[in-house]
Homo-oligomer: A and B are copies of this chain.
Amino acid sequence: MPAMSDYDIDSLDALRQRIRDFAAARAWERYHTPKNLVMALSVEAAELLEPFQWLTAEQSLQLSAEQHEAVRQEIADVLIYLTRLADVLDIDLLDAAAAKLAINARKYPVDRAHGNATKYLANQTNRDSSDD
């Protein structure tokens, strides 16, 4: 039987199905409540912080091959849990991203936001949108 690694995953839909199969084969669905999945996602996102926490910004652009591979695996973990969470909540990832970019475009019009660190540095992001 071919190993999973023999299959390319060529779309988010394919990834979603592969993760469903993985969880179902192990009877792990009962662990995958949204509450648990958001926790797992935050754990992985924080594991992404760890390689960078003592690096300068410049060093963060010059990772060793070993560091780069570790980061690649953590990025993968975040995508896997994010895909699973979106699946369980019946959310289409690309539709959601497109909608959010449209919101962001209105919140940060190019003419006001260009090179303008002030609002960006104040990080008026989601909180701003919740004031709308």
Contact = CB atoms under 8 A, between A and B. Distances in A.
Contacts of A26: 108, 110, 113-116
Given A35-B52, A79-B97, A12 B12 contact: yes
Interface of A: 3-5, 7-12, 14-15, 18-19, 22, 25-28, 31, 33-36, 38-57, 60-61, 63, 68, 71-80, 82-83, 85-86, 89, 91, 93-105, 108, 110, 113-117, 120-121, 123, 125-127, 129-131
Given A7-B98, A54-B120, 12 more contacts: A3-B102, A4-B101, A9-B97, A18-B98, A35-B55, A36-B54, A36-B57, A45-B46, A63-B89, A73-B103, A76-B96, A80-B101
